[in-house]
Structure 1
Amino acid sequence: MSATSAIARAGFFAAVVVLAAVVGTAAIGGGSHTAPEVSQLNAASFNSDEAVATPPEESGELSMSADASGKVVVIDVAHAGSIDREALTPLVSTLTENGATVRYHVGERQNGRPLNASLRSADAFVVLGAEQRYTESELNGLTAFTDAGGRVLLLNEPAQASAVGVGLLSPTTSESVTKPMAPLLSQYGLSYGNGYLYNMHEYDTNYRSVYATPTGDSALTDGVDRTVFYAAIPVQGGDTAVSATERTTLSQTRRQGTYGIVTRSGNVVAVGDTNVLTQEFLYRADNEQLVGNLLDFLVTGEKSPAGAPQPAESGASGPSGALPGTGGGGSVPPAAPEPTPEPESPPTPKPNGTATPTPTPGE
């Protein structure tokens, strides 16, 4: 290799190195710029003073102002999925301490009574979601029950909330837990919306924990200033007692509004959340006052006739109730076992020598 060629090659490599250094410096941004300090960042989201979460005070005590002596409250667990009964302890304890009797309606599948039979001895009926549809005879029985003055409290939550095991209901695989309750609510001009409510502007520790306020003065909102509901669903129809605050959004439509969460239609109250009864949410804001008012609602009805819904006549069904043996059940002692048929008598010989069978009992 000649000296001239070697010098040329060395010059070429030197030029490549210089060019790479220039390009690298430009890509990095040049040596004259320095990285911004943390103090220069405009990050209001890192400043606790700028947070939109405003946790309410947790205080108060669940109590009732009404005398519940002699009243019977039935809680439906036959149509719902697995309900966390332990979470219902504050509700059940408050009712019983005020003189009420609380029973769980378990259904005929667990050796209980039909639903309409359970309603006859009840003054109030509580439904916590439903995965099983109510039969026509059960719906007729509930109509007769409320027409006679019986009180009904319906609470529900969206499928999205149940899927993560939030609230009183266990996780569900159903598309929507509102569908089985739709025929029941429609009898009273009520319905649950699809999706869940959230608020990105003002909430309690989580954007799904929305605030709600009374729409006016009523027995349901006595002493209530502000409440908190988690992943609630809107309730349409009836007289709205409590609605979400402004700029609350429905996940299904992405529309903002003041959606109703607690609504009353005669002897029926529908609530778009079950979490409000649990220990985690019961004492937030004025939730315990609202729940106390709901318990007062349950025990202040005057049912007449006391035995409504009346049993349907044999072989026919109607508004009075279900056919014997149909419908749901009640938390009562297991049904008595069927009597054992008497042993068959030996065949009686006929005069011609043939035998005539003796009918067995019940045939």
Structure 2
Amino acid sequence: MSKSNWLPLIIGGAVLIVLAFIGGRMLYFGSGTGTYTPPERELLPANIEAAAVPPKLEAADNPEVSRGAVVVDYSHENALYIEELNVLLSKVVSRGFSYEVVTPEEAEVVSLVDRLSYAKALVLPLPRIDYTPEEITAIEQYVDRGGRVLIIGDPTRTIVVESLNSIAGSFGIIYANDYLYSLESNDNNYRNVVYTNFNDSVITDGIGDNDKVIFYASGSVSAPGHEIIMGDDTVFSSTSESSGAKASAALTTNDQVLALGDLTFFTQPHDMTESNGILINNIANFLTSGNRTFELRDFPYFLNTEVNIVFDDTKVFNSQFEDAVKLKEYLEATERTVEFTDEIGDSRDIIYISRFDKADAVQDYLDEANIVLLEPEDVEEEVAEESGSALTLSTVSSLEGEEGDEEKFVQGRIQIEGVGELEQGGATLFYLHQEEDQNVLIILSNDAETNADAFGLLFDNKINECVVNATIAVCQTVDPEQRLAPSVRSNRIDKILVVSDNDGRARESGQTSLVQYTEVLSAAYSVEDWVTSTDGSPELAELQEYDAVIWTTGDYWDDSISEADMETLQQYITAGGNLVLSGSSIAFDWDHTDFMPNILHADYLTVGEQTDIEVSMSEHPLAKDFEPGAVFTFTESLSEENSDIDVVNYTSDARVIFRRGPDSEYDGAPTVIAYEDDRSKIAYFAFPLYRLQSGPRAVLIDNAIDWFTRSPLDLPAEIDYQPFEIDDSGGGSGDEAPPEDGGEGEEAPPEDGGEGDEGDTGDEGGEGEDSPPEDGDEGDGGDNGDEGSDDGSDDGGEGGEEGESGP
């Protein structure tokens, strides 16, 4: 059979097989007329609320518009994109504020610290580099002046908790290295904690007991007593199993520093969940509503955007026209609107420019600041009253003097409470008066030249070089006669700084006398101590915060005062100040330098053992309540090494108040030297103060402080200067006559070169200024001849052992 005959049979067979399969299926399952019907089941109602996300709430925001700048730190490798703060910053802008983001590049041009001079609020988000000591100090001072700070952490970021705490810790806040979670009070994730516990504060204002705030993986914040947003008992820390009120936000430091543990709630859409929007509005209000105070050194940032420059005297305006135009242009470059006017209004900030004798329009402001402008006749009357009860020594503050002195030296005085009197001549007074809605800057000078120089200080941002306090500066630039700036020496003593300089080479068991100074002074004054080995060297500005400075080196030697500290002390005295210097080796360390004649007003001679001191000038305030010629024996040195003490001379412009006593080597050499002029007062104790017995030591310290409050004495007459000299025998000749017959008097010399029973003999041992010794060739080398024999050879004092007898 051919293949073509088989094909129909194959196809037919296949069809039969398919039909058989279908028929069998129909017979097994049925013909298809019926369908499967599942059993009926009751449908449960859907729980829509359980699956719903928190509502998106657009918080009503009715901001109060003001002015200012918020600075955002972005220079510490901060762990965020700055755009994540857009919601918060947009609300800051809606309140009339601007904001500045300080990147590392911008910080090199204007540092974060410098921007604090004008910032009203500071935001520190997620730093990963520790803040430097300089930055921490500047931020602390900024907060002290009313600035507000927002610190933000977030455990979901790569953050360094130590960096957060480097600044937060300064305000009593500690961030933990954890995250908070709740298995019950959460928003669909155990780390998205729902908070319902709020303490009353400006940050939680408007958030009630039934409201909720959601943080998205917040870290815990510790600030005992200052927590404002806390979890309930279901909230735990990832590092602790204990439950409790774990806080995610705290507000400390007089409600000026806010710490948050979460960043995410600031971002969209989380900013609109529950009451998060209200919280963000409150934070924006917090940043823009502070009452930050400015200092004079912050010029021009304390000025608002509209400023009037006031000249109420045509002559003053004409003489200062060019400078006034420069000032106007300078302020306009800082985006301020400036106008000239001739009267002080109350709607705009004011810069008032005039002369000392034409300041009637601002007298009320000056009175409020206790600033008194004394004209020459006022100064003369005041000095006359002071000198009426004075000793025979007159004061240099008197205007009486050589012809022309009044015009050359003083045109009047500026009397400032708590500071003293400063010269008007060549000076410009700046005073900043601040009210809630207005700032008034008063600029007074004695002539156009000094006022022009003062404008230069403003333009060059150098007014801080002559500030007296936060709101007052008295600036005097160098005039053709090279006069110094007015002294800032205080004649009222309240605060005293005692600097214990122990950076030099210490003798074994050496002391600086810090304890002895503070023990005496603490009873009547506010005393702070400064130890150089731990606190470093004080800066000039730090010294000038005090009414008097005591710098004591005690037994320390070999750079007992460092070169940097020496320069600071010279600057302190140049500016004007009250200073006590004491120590055994200061002169040795700084011999042949300007520090000796200009600060110590002494000259180094040698070293020698010292066991006592003797009153030399009992009429001087430093020797008040001491008997003339009284001798005080030293206590034993605490140092176990040989403690030779400087032997010094004094300069012709100083006075010797105490000398080395009769039992000391080089007896009669100056040991307490006083210098005073209208700028400064300096007392130099050329020995460790702790060696003086407690009774006379307390009187001497009290006398020094009392002396600082008195008007300065005239400089000594050059003709009266009789320096101490060392003779070949190791003794010396002074400028005072020795006491007669061993007594304590200073007036009469020994007659005919007496044998020295109990008293100094010869021309080497005297101290008096009034008359030289007569026929004093019988001295025994400057010894006191204490119970000596006729030839002065027995017990002739430690200073004169080499020269046993006179001719």
* TM-score band w.r.t. shorter chain: 0.5 to 0.7
Shift of 1:50: 11
User: 5 Å matches for 1:263-342?
Assistant: 263-265=250-252, 266=254, 267-306=256-295, 316=539
Change (3 A) 1:234 1:279: same
Alignment of 1:253 onto 2:240: yes
Task: Please state how far the C-alpha of 1:226 moved relative to its aligned partner.
Answer: 1.1
Deviation at 1:217, TM superposition (A): 2.6
Is 2:58 the partner of 1:60? yes
Asked whether the equivalents of residues 118 and 298 of structure 2 are also in contact (C-alpha less than 8 Å), the reply is no
In structure 2, the partner of 1:223 is 206
1:182 aligns with 2:165: yes
Change (3 A) 1:48 1:228: farther
Distance between the aligned counterparts of 1:177 and 1:133, measured in 2? Answer: 9
Query: Which moved further from structure 2: 78-87 or 51-60?
Result: 51-60
Deviations 1:303-333 (A, max 9, x none): 11257889998x94989xxxxxxxxxxxxxx
* C-alpha deviation, 1:54, in angstroms: 7.0
1:234 has 2:187 as partner: no
* Identical-residue share of aligned pairs (%): 26
Counterpart code for 1:58: K
Q: Structure 1 residues 111, 241: closer, same or farther in 2, change over 3 A? A: same
Q: Give 1:152 shift.
A: 0.2
> Superposition pairs for residues 1-363 of structure 1, below 5 Å?
49=47, 55-61=53-59, 63=61, 65-67=63-65, 69-107=66-104, 111-158=108-155, 161-162=156-157, 172=158, 177-224=160-207, 225-237=211-223, 238-265=225-252, 266=254, 267-306=256-295, 316=539
Bigger strand fraction: 2
Amino acid at match of 2:216: Y
Contact in 2 for aligned 1:134/1:180 (Cα 8 Å) = yes
Cα deviation for residue 244 of structure 1 reads 1.4
Whether contact under 8 Å (1:131, 1:180) holds in the other structure is yes
Q: Secondary structure at the match of 2:228?
A: strand
> For residues 99 and 540 of structure 2, what CA distance do their matches in structure 1 show?
29
Counterpart AA for 2:214: V
Question: SS of the residue aligned with 1:179?
Answer: helix
Q: For residue 28 of structure 1, what is the aligned residue in structure 2?
A: none
Structure 1 292/234 Cα, relative in aligned 2: closer, same or farther at 3 Å?
Answer: same
Tell me which amino acid in the other structure corresponds to 1:232. S
Change (3 A) 1:317 1:51: farther
Asked if the contact 1:194–1:233 (Cα under 8 Å) also holds between the matched residues in 2, the reply is yes
Alpha carbons 1:120, 1:309 under 8 Å: kept: yes
For residues 135-169 of structure 1, the C-alpha deviation after alignment (integer angstroms, 9 at most, x for no partner) is: 000000000000000000111011xx12xxxxxxx
Structure 1 residues 72 and 62 mapped into 2: Cα distance closer, same or farther (>3 Å)?
A: farther
Contact 1:157-1:233 at 8 Å conserved across structures: yes
Q: Which of structures 1 and 2 has the larger relative contact order (alpha carbons within 8 angstroms, sep 6+)?
A: 1
Paired with 1:240 and 1:79, the residues of 2 have a C-alpha distance of 26
| Equivalent position amino acid for 1:183 in 2 | S
Report the 3-state secondary structure (helix = DSSP H, G, I; strand = E; otherwise coil) of the residue aligned with 1:139: helix
Give distance in 1, aligned partners of 2:71 and 2:61.
Answer: 19
- CA 1:136–1:318 in structure 2 vs 1: closer, same or farther (change >3 Å)? farther
Q: CA deviation at 1:298?
A: 1.0
Aligned length: 258
Between the aligned partners of 1:299 and 1:261, the Cα distance in structure 2 is 22
**How many Å apart are 1:124 and its aligned residue?**
0.1
Q: How far has the Cα of 1:110 moved from its partner?
A: 5.9
Q: Distance in 2 between matches of 1:264 and 1:308?
A: 29
Q: TM-score, normalised by structure 1?
A: 0.64
Return 129-138 or 233-242, whichever deviates more. Answer: 233-242
TM-score (normalised: structure 2): 0.30
Structure 2: gaps spanning 5 or more residues? 1-44, 300-461, 466-537, 543-807
C-alpha separation in 1, matches of 2:194 and 2:239: 19
Aligned counterparts of 2:60 and 2:151: Cα–Cα separation in 1: 19
Bigger Rg, structure 1 or 2 = 2
Post-superposition offset of 1:93: 1.5
* Shift in alpha-carbon separation, 1:216–1:110, aligned structure 2, 3 A: closer
Query: 1:63-93 deviations in whole A, cap 9, x for unaligned?
Result: 35333x2111011111143532222222122
Structure 1 consecutive aligned stretches of length 4 or more whose deviation exceeds 4 Å: 47-54, 306-313, 315-319
**Unaligned residue ranges in structure 1 (runs of 5+):** 1-46, 163-171, 320-363
Q: CA RMSD in A?
A: 3.0
Q: How many angstroms does 1:182 deviate by?
A: 1.0
* CA distance in structure 2 between the aligned counterparts of 1:210 and 1:96, rounded to whole angstroms: 30
Could you tell me which amino acid in structure 2 is paired with residue 291 of structure 1? I
Shift in Å, 1:183: 2.2
Kindly tell me: are residues 86 and 307 of structure 1, through their superposed partners in 2, closer, same or farther at Cα, counting changes over 3 Å?
A: farther
**Structure 1 residue 61: deviation in Å?**
3.4
- 2:180/2:193 contact within 8 Å kept: yes
Rounded Cα–Cα distance in structure 2 between residues aligned with 1:286 and 1:143 = 32
Distance 1:318 1:257, change over 3 A: farther
Report the residue type matching 1:185 in the other structure. A
Partners of 1:261 and 1:299 in 2: how far apart?
A: 22
What amino acid does structure 2 have at the position aligned with 1:241? I
Q: Is the 8 A contact 2:79 2:127 kept in 1?
A: no
In structure 2, what is the Cα distance between the partners aligned to 1:112 and 1:278? 30
Which letter maps to 1:254? E
What is the distance in 2 between the residues matched to 1:82 and 1:219? 27
SS in 2 for 1:187: helix
**Change over 3 Å in CA distance of 1:249–1:113 after alignment to 2:** same
Relative to structure 2, which stretch is displaced further, 128-137 or 272-281?
Answer: 272-281
Which amino acid counterpart does residue 267 of structure 2 have in structure 1? Answer: T
The residue number in structure 2 matching 1:327 is none
CA distance in 2, matches of 1:286, 1:85: 23
